[in-house]
Structure 1
């Protein structure tokens, strides 16, 4: 876990774009090392703490920036241009914060949200389980209720940034649950855990700096730290976890692909490349056009879906769920294809080798995870069932 002396002024008077630029600059300075070593980007997280960016979605009455989901999307895109791991770490933290803001009890909000706003609490998500993967609506691990305290005993095969988190939102079966769908969401401070053990190593193809290790957690927390109603995590998934995940991830992926295209275009237009590439090549121009088209498609769907989430009174409607899932699937596929096409466009030297300033090799490895991060195949199965519930084919 990283610790840092906070500097509330003058950094807290900066604009959101300035704060984001500071984090992106720090992330860029450590990018090569964190990817090579599969090391968590501690320096970038510390800058999020310093700038107050961890408190983006914390309401101003609790000391936060009072930002919107649209602000989270815009910030995730900008961070994704530099480092997809840093962007996803930020977006997933925002998902957890929004759950506390929207569904936490007032005593929990009063205690926790000011700490997040001050940069003292980075939150990690503990929702995966062996055997069910990232499926959110079931659990195999049960909470125990002992004299007003909840006993947590949980293993999760993937916890993004878990070793460095200051707090955790954990899904488990409600005490006395009679169905695997009676899932609760519980908040735990790091200090409330008697056990926080890492299991195994983290050596993935891409997203290496996300440091999504397996963790074993044990501890005891007050019942007041249940977020939402006991056994009713489904309501939080529908209103917060699902929308925030699909908007946030898609923004990160779009930023990564846009950053890759930007670096390619700058390389092609640079004085050093003059005479080396035929900028009038029809094949090159067509590939650049297709890449930009893919990104414009994702950007348009992302913007429309963000508005749908902001304007819809009921996010559980099939047409809304279909749009959210379409965003995730489309962004995962098109952003990866865009970068893959850029590899073909610029060839071996600038598309395939690690030391190219385009960093296409890094972006391609990171984006390969997008279709697997809550599997597109699983979402297609869900969408097939949802489509049957909307025979009029009405769009959100």
Structure 2
């Protein structure tokens, strides 16, 4: 880590707590409240808050490092953390002075865990459009927003909500609005019974309330710029780090088991077949990790985040890491066999990693990004590789 080097003990503490409660959280589809409490207590929620506002002043590489570490023990915790940081980065980059002063120091103190409300029925997680309208109510802006998925919504202290701008004549005129929990009435409208990622507790919710004008992040109708420069890049980078971390953690557990006395009897580590399979899985992880680090370096230095080569790379990162991480988990299950690859009571917990990573290609669908990349490719006949 760089500017956030002092947070290494905090990361270790949160990872230990997450590991201790991971199985129970998965079995009960329960939000990782203990891990969140540790993030609050250690100040890790403030990783990306600028130092001037009391945070760690962390960078995108710091976010990747922390998310990779958390992903090794619990992918749900890693995703919760990365998505919170995405919200913090948006306020830091586009929030007005009053909003930044109100929110960022509180995040740094561990008092605000930020939830994201971007999904809508009919459009899924598509960021660039909104159906629900934000309406003027005197000097206030009235929100009435339903979302089929809100990660950690019942446990969030505040939300960033996408909604159609007041008076908008197009679904593409989208606002991003900050709302404290006490400014909105929250109704959980359904349950959360997924195959994997169970501890994210991503329930459907309805949020109704009103906020003052200064809680709009950026300009009215200007969410496209926020999505291009902050939301989409941090989503793809943060998700990729969580996925690679989860696959690497599973790979490490298999290696440690293979080197144990019991594992040597099962795996025969000198077997050429075992060695070939281990090499193939490691190659997937190294390639995915190299793509992640390269993408982070490009995003950090890019003068124009909307440029086709940058957007193509970001989408490719999401697609390839989703595929490679899940393929690695699948191959680990095959290698470990029925007892340690498939059964839920194995200490290697490969089946949980397998279930969690199956969501990766569906979390903003890979096919949607492939279609986008096809259109972006036509805008770049010079094939400028980022």
* Distance of 1:112 and 1:167 partners within structure 2: 9
The yes-or-no answer on 1:359 pairing with 2:367 is no
Q: SS at the partner of 2:171?
A: coil
Task: Trace 1:131-146 onto structure 2 (pairs within 5 A).
Answer: 131-146=122-137
Q: Give the gaps of 5 or more residues in structure 1.
A: 1-12
CA RMSD of aligned residues (A): 1.0
Match of 1:254 among 244, 255, 265: 244
Alpha-carbon shift at residue 280 of structure 1 (Å): 1.6
The yes-or-no answer on 1:205 pairing with 2:204 is no
Q: SS at the partner of 1:274?
A: helix
Aligned to 1:348: 338
Q: SS at the partner of 2:194?
A: coil
Alpha-carbon shift at residue 79 of structure 1 (Å): 0.1
* Distance of 1:100 and 1:58 partners within structure 2: 9
Alpha-carbon shift at residue 14 of structure 1 (Å): 8.4
User: Normalised by the size of structure 2, how large is the TM-score?
Assistant: 0.98
* Distance of 2:264 and 2:224 partners within structure 1: 57
The ranges of structure 1 where at least 4 consecutive aligned residues each deviate by more than 3 angstroms after the TM superposition are none
The yes-or-no answer on 1:305 pairing with 2:287 is no
Match of 1:48 among 32, 39, 42: 39
Aligned to 2:29: 38
* Distance of 1:23 and 1:124 partners within structure 2: 19
Aligned to 2:155: 164
Aligned to 2:384: 394
Match of 1:383 among 373, 383, 386: 373
Alpha-carbon shift at residue 60 of structure 1 (Å): 0.8
Match of 1:127 among 118, 129, 132: 118
The yes-or-no answer on 1:293 pairing with 2:283 is yes
Match of 1:264 among 245, 254, 259: 254
Q: Give the gaps of 5 or more residues in structure 2.
A: none
User: Normalised by the size of structure 1, how large is the TM-score?
Assistant: 0.96
Alpha-carbon shift at residue 279 of structure 1 (Å): 1.0
Alpha-carbon shift at residue 147 of structure 1 (Å): 1.6
Alpha-carbon shift at residue 47 of structure 1 (Å): 0.2
Q: SS at the partner of 1:275?
A: helix
Aligned to 2:208: 218
Match of 1:315 among 298, 305, 309: 305
Q: SS at the partner of 1:158?
A: strand
Contact kept in structure 1, 2:195 and 2:356, CA below 8 Å: yes
Q: SS at the partner of 2:245?
A: helix
The yes-or-no answer on 1:108 pairing with 2:99 is yes
Q: SS at the partner of 2:306?
A: coil
Alpha-carbon shift at residue 122 of structure 1 (Å): 0.2
Aligned to 2:52: 61
